[in-house]
């Protein structure tokens, strides 16, 4: 039975949801299209077959905080070519490495810090403690009922067989975190036979919502209203599709599992067949102050809520050129989720959601007895956009504006 105190709050929420959004074209937060560099493969060579021995680590942490990243030296053009070179794992177990060239890139415009490895850049390590991944009140919302789960934007969230989450970014492509398939030293157990899970109904969902919700419900949610939790329906299952290829940037592959570059914690999976769902477009990550309400959003499959899709949004905090820090509540299993924003596309004259980052993991550092904690997303920079877009499109002509 709904408590008396909850009824006024719920009715006021419905009132807010039904109010039409008030905004002029000049006040709308807008996507700013920009010309991006070209990242092209140059030479591909075979590498030794991976071992696939270690299980995927769903909790990735780093001792390098925002100040640590900001102090790191700016990578040179040649550094970036090395960081953006990539490995491709094929479903038959073959492994290749591809060198890349970068064109149309102005190094003076790049503020992307290299990952600070070495004692001069790292925060002081302390005793082992439990990481806080829920900041205060748990602000996550379980999404249930096919009216929500099977419709955009929630339908773009998928589960990986290694335990992570991912986001559909092409007709047969999934963006996820690199640590979901590679531990920094080798490919993890299950990476060769990686599968991607899509939530489907076991039978027709007969659970109807007790209140009518407008078709643009999620648009209001992204505008800042508190989400309404639909009625629970457990009659869902995963349908799995095998991955054909997995691309991982060399910026992640350090050769030492303890020296992890969170700046490059992203990977792209190519499926063996099209998924036939609507996917979300890629976008170059704008500065946090340009995001509507300075908020970011993502949905994933947190381990503490098995079989449930979990949505959350929160205010973006500090940022570097490659990382976005926030306090979005998340548990292991959510890593790899696509972090997105919804803004106005002036060219197409419509609201558009775009993936601007990949949820990576947790950072906890202690300086002079005071602890700092963050959840971290890898931002899609112009160079990363160019690389990921090429992986998806297979050409650079369709990847010049992000």
Q: Are strands 61-62 and 350-367 parallel, antiparallel or unpaired?
A: parallel
Residue 376, CA atoms < 13 Å, CB-side half-sphere: 30
159 vs 195: CA distance, rounded Å: 8
DSSP calls for 184-229: SSSBPTTSTT-EEEEEEESS------SS---TTHHHHHHTTPPPP-
Options 155, 165, 335, 360, the catalytic residue: 335
Q: How far apart are CA 84 and CA 41, in angstroms?
A: 10
Place of tokens 């990949």: 358
* Beta pairing partners, 375: 326, 362
How far is 374 from 286, CA to CA, in rounded Å? 20
Task: Report the alpha-carbon distance of residue 273 to residue 270 in Å, rounded.
Answer: 9
Residues 216 and 16 sit within 8 Å (Cβ to Cβ): no
Catalytic residue among 12, 209, 259, 371: 259
- Do residues 251 and 223 touch, judged by C-beta distance below 8 A? no
- Residue 292 in 3-state DSSP? helix
SS3 category, 31:
coil
For residue 164, give the 3-state DSSP assignment. coil
On whether the CB atoms of residues 235 and 205 are closer than 8 A, the answer is yes
- Residue ranges of alpha helices (H) inside 279-356 are none
Q: Is 138 a catalytic residue?
A: no
Neighbours of 376 (CB within 10 A): 30
Q: Can 297 be counted among the known catalytic residues?
A: no
Catalytic site residue from 179, 275, 279, 327: 179
Vertex 82 angle, CA 114 and 56, to 5°? 75
Residue 132 CA to residue 374 CA, distance in Å, equals 9
Q: What is the CA radius of gyration of the chain?
A: 21
**Which residues partner with 241 through β-bridges?**
196
Q: Diameter of the chain by CA atoms? A: 67
| 179 catalytically annotated | yes
User: Alpha-carbon distance 401 to 283, whole Å?
Assistant: 9
Which residues sit opposite 366 in a β-bridge?
371
Q: Which residues are catalytic?
A: 179, 259, 335
């Amino acid at each position: 039975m709904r408590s008396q105190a909850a009824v006024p709050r719920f009715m006021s929420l419905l009132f807010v949801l039904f109010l039409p959004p008030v905004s002029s074209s000049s006040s709308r937060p807008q996507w700013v299209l920009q010309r991006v560099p070209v990242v092209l493969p140059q030479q591909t060579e075979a590498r030794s077959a991976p071992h696939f021995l270690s299980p995927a680590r769903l909790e990735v942490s780093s001792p390098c905080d925002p100040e640590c990243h900001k102090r790191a030296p700016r990578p040179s053009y040649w550094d970036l070519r090395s960081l953006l070179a990539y490995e491709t794992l094929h479903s038959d177990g073959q492994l290749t490495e591809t060198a890349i060239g970068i064109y149309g890139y102005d190094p003076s415009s790049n503020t992307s810090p290299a990952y600070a490895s070495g004692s001069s850049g790292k925060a002081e390590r302390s005793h082992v403690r439990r990481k806080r991944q829920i900041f205060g009140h748990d602000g996550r919302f379980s999404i249930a009922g096919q009216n929500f789960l099977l419709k955009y934007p929630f339908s773009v969230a998928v589960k990986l067989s290694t335990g992570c989450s991912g986001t559909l970014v092409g007709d047969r492509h999934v963006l996820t975190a690199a640590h979901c398939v590679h531990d920094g030293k080798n490919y993890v157990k299950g990476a060769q036979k990686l599968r991607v899970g899509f939530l489907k109904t076991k039978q027709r969902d007969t659970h109807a919502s007790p209140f009518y919700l407008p078709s643009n419900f999620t648009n209001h949610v992204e505008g800042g209203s508190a989400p309404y939790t639909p009625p629970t329906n457990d009659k869902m299952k995963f349908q799995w599709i095998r991955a054909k290829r997995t691309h991982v940037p060399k910026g992640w592959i350090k050769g030492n599992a303890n020296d992890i570059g969170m700046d490059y914690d992203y990977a792209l999976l190519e499926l063996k067949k099209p998924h036939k769902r609507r996917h979300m477009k890629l976008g170059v990550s704008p500065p946090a102050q340009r995001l509507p309400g300075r908020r970011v959003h993502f949905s994933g499959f947190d381990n503490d809520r098995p079989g449930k899709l979990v949505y959350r949004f929160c205010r973006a905090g500090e940022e570097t050129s490659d990382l976005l820090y926030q306090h979005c509540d998340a548990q292991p299993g959510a890593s790899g989720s696509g972090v997105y924003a919804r803004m106005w596309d002036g060219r197409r004259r419509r609201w558009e959601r775009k993936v601007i980052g990949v949820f990576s993991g947790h950072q906890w550092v202690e300086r002079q007895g005071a602890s700092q904690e963050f959840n971290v997303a890898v931002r899609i920079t112009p160079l990363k956009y160019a690389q990921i877009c090429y992986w998806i499109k297979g050409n650079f002509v369709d990847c010049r504006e992000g």
